[in-house]
């Protein structure tokens, strides 16, 4: 038995209970509402008009087809980094290293600039590079956990920082644009995702995210390997007695997650106009925080691929709408408010069965249930 706090199966079971609880969609929705209310409260305290700001945000996120394109475009990488986190939660671990895996994947994808190739294959090679780099960046924490019992919470964060500095080194000295020192080489047209909606930044990369989500859903719920991963996450001791090699499931879940995070990096540098590059000079403004935001998406999506897609549309909307919000009215609210709201949503998500904290709602629910049960019982009596 591992002696570090994360090897504690009871802890993980507790975590799973929260993360895959009873009335999932309702609780996620409630957490989102609480997060938005906390954001509104802070805006009010800081002297902003929260209703105006949220109105602008809503318009900017879901107000029309251009806005929807912008929202889905921002949801694209979030789906992938959310999958990184959730695959590992399903296996009973907390991989909070999507940020580093995503950065390394983005750098690997930019490397395709060095070859000239026909358009479809060029893109595909870039994706393979990115997925391999992301997976490679996740394998060391997995091995450290298996061989030395090092908590993945610590090792993945350390790898985030090491990956960040490595990516900065690469972006500044190796794959740098010789004309513009602050950015990397630009991914050539042959290796880009085509734009889906003209005049927006919504590209076919979105279908990559959907595809990866479906593949992971299939692997987790319709293959033996996926079954083993989920069994190890539910109860590692029982899984081991059942003949499941926990070490293998750990490695598999980290590799799958790392590959997804690497693809998230590729989805941005190969599928997000206008830059098609990373900016080492500005410490990666278009890439930073995609990994961390993905964790929030995973939790709100209850670590289920389908839930994650829905949650990514919510968070992509927050990001897209936030861009409109920050220029709206005479006293606009900075974009950073969006991340405050995300953090508040995750805090609300951490309370299991949030609904039970509201006794009035609970009582009403109980009396409703009693009523239904009575009705059910009486109708049964009537029929017999």
Partner 1 sequence: MNWSDLLGLLRIALHAMVPITLTAVGEIVGETAGLFNIGLEGILLISAFAGAVGAKIGGPWMGFLIGAGVGAAIGFLFAVINTYWKGTQMVTGIGINLFAMGFVAFGLIQLGAPGFYAVPQAAQLAKWRTGMGAMSPIIVVALVLPFLIHWFMRRTRAGLMLKAAGEMPEAADVAGVNVNRMRLLAATFGGMLAGIAGAYMSIAWIGSVTKDLSAGRGFIALATVVFSGLNPLLALLGGFIFGFFQGLAEWVKTLPSKPIPFQFVSMLPYIVTLLVVSGAIGRVRFPKALGEPYKRE
Among the listed residues 14, 242, 273, 329, the single contact to partner 1 using CB under 8 A: 14
Among 22, 25, 65, 149, binds partner 1 (CB under 8 A): 149
| By the rule CB under 8 A, 324 interacts with partner 1 | no
**Shortest distance in whole angstroms from residue 371 CB to partner 1:** 28
Figure out which of the listed residues 207, 336, 366, 376 binds partner 1, where binding follows CB under 8 A.
336
| The one among 19, 131, 239, 272 contacting partner 1 by CB under 8 A | 19
Give the torsion through C-alpha atoms of 358, 313, 320, 191, to 10 deg.
150
Contacts of partner 1 in 180-239 (CB under 8 A): none
Residue whose CB is less far from partner 1, 21 or 128: 21
Q: How far apart are CA 308 and CA 192, in angstroms?
A: 25
As measured in angstroms, the least distance from the Cβ of 147 to partner 1 is 8
Q: Please say which residue, 139 or 351, places its beta carbon nearer to partner 1.
A: 351
The secondary structure of residue 316, as a DSSP letter, is H
What is the DSSP code (8-state) at residue 96? -
Q: Please give the angle made by the CA atoms of 25, 29 and 33, to the nearest 5 degrees.
A: 170
CA dihedral 18, 227, 309, 120 (to 10 degrees): 150
Tell me: does residue 18 bind partner 1 (CB under 8 A): yes
Cβ contact 292:192 at 8 Å? no
Read off the tokens for 45.
Answer: 């305290």
**Distance (Å, rounded) from C-alpha 64 to C-alpha 320?**
12
- Choosing from 166, 195, 234, 355, the residue that interacts with partner 1 (CB under 8 A) is 166
Determine, following the binding rule CB under 8 A, whether residue 358 of this chain makes contact with partner 1: no
Q: Are 82 and 311 in contact (CB under 8 A)?
A: yes
- Copy the structure tokens of residue 131: 């997925």
Q: How far is the CB of 247 from partner 1 (least distance, A)?
A: 16
Residue 203 has φ and ψ, to the nearest 5°, of -120, 175
Which range of residues in 69-77, 165-173, 203-211, 230-238 is near partner 1 by CB under 8 A?
165-173
Tokens of 60: 């900017």
Measured from the CB of residue 337, what is the shortest distance to partner 1 in angstroms? 6
Which residues, 129 to 148, sit near partner 1 by CB under 8 A?
Answer: 144, 148
Rounded CA-CA distance 268/279 in Å is 12
Task: Tell me the Ramachandran region of residue 18: left when phi exceeds 0, alpha when psi lies from -120 to 50, beta otherwise.
Answer: alpha
**CB of 315 vs partner 1, minimal distance in Å:** 11
- 36-65 residues near partner 1, rule: CB under 8 A: 46
Contact characters 268-297, partner 1, x per CB under 8 A: ---------------------x--xx-xx-
Residue 119 phi/psi, 5-degree rounding, is -60, -50
332 lies in the binding site for partner 1 (CB under 8 A): no
Is residue 68 close enough to count as binding partner 1 by CB under 8 A? no
If one asks whether residue 341 binds partner 1 (CB under 8 A), the answer comes out as yes
CB 183 within 8 A of CB 53: no
How many Cβ atoms from other residues are within 10 Å of residue 282's Cβ? 11
What gap in Å lies between CA 170 and CA 290, rounded to an integer? Answer: 19
- Site for partner 1 contains 351 (CB under 8 A): yes
Query: What residues line the site for partner 1 (CB under 8 A)?
Result: 3-5, 8, 10-11, 14-15, 17-19, 46, 94, 96, 144, 148-151, 153-155, 157-162, 165-166, 168-169, 172-173, 289, 292-293, 295-296, 299, 334, 336-352, 357
């Amino acid at each position: 038995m591992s002696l570090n706090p994360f090897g504690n199966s009871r802890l993980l079971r507790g975590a799973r209970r929260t993360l895959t609880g009873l009335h999932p969609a309702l609780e996620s929705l409630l957490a989102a509402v609480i997060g938005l209310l906390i954001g509104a409260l802070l805006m009010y305290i800081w002297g902003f008009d929260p209703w105006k700001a949220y109105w602008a945000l809503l318009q900017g996120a879901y107000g029309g087809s251009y806005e929807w394109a912008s929202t889905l475009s921002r949801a694209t990488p979030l789906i992938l980094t959310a999958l990184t986190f959730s695959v590992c939660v399903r296996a009973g671990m907390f991989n909070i290293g999507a940020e580093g895996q995503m950065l390394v994947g983005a750098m690997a994808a930019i490397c395709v600039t060095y070859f000239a190739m026909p358009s479809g294959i060029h893109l595909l090679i870039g994706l393979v590079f990115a997925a391999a780099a992301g997976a490679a960046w996740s394998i060391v924490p997995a091995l450290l956990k298996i061989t030395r019992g090092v908590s993945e919470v610590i090792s993945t964060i350390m790898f985030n920082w090491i990956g960040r500095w490595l990516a900065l080194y690469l972006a500044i000295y190796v794959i740098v644009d010789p004309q513009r020192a602050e950015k990397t080489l630009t991914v050539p047209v042959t290796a880009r995702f085509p734009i889906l909606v003209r005049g927006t930044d919504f590209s076919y990369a979105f279908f990559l995210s959907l595809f990866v989500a479906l593949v992971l859903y299939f692997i987790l719920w319709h293959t033996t390997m996926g079954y083993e991963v989920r069994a190890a996450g539910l109860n590692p001791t029982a899984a081991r007695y059942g003949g499941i090699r926990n070490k293998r499931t750990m490695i598999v879940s980290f590799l799958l997650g790392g590959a997804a995070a690497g693809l998230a990096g590729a989805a941005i540098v190969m599928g997000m106009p206008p830059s098609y590059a990373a900016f080492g000079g500005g410490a990666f403004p278009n890439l930073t925080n995609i990994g961390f935001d993905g964790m929030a998406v995973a939790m709100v999506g209850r670590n289920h691929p389908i839930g994650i897609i829905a949650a990514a549309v919510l968070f992509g909307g927050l990001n897209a709408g936030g861009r409109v919000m920050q220029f709206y009215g005479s006293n606009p609210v900075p974009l950073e408010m969006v991340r405050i709201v995300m953090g508040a949503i995750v805090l609300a998500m951490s309370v299991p069965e949030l609904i039970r904290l509201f006794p009035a709602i609970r009582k009403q629910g109980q009396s409703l249930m009693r009523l239904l049960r009575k009705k059910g019982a009486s109708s049964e009596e009537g029929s017999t």
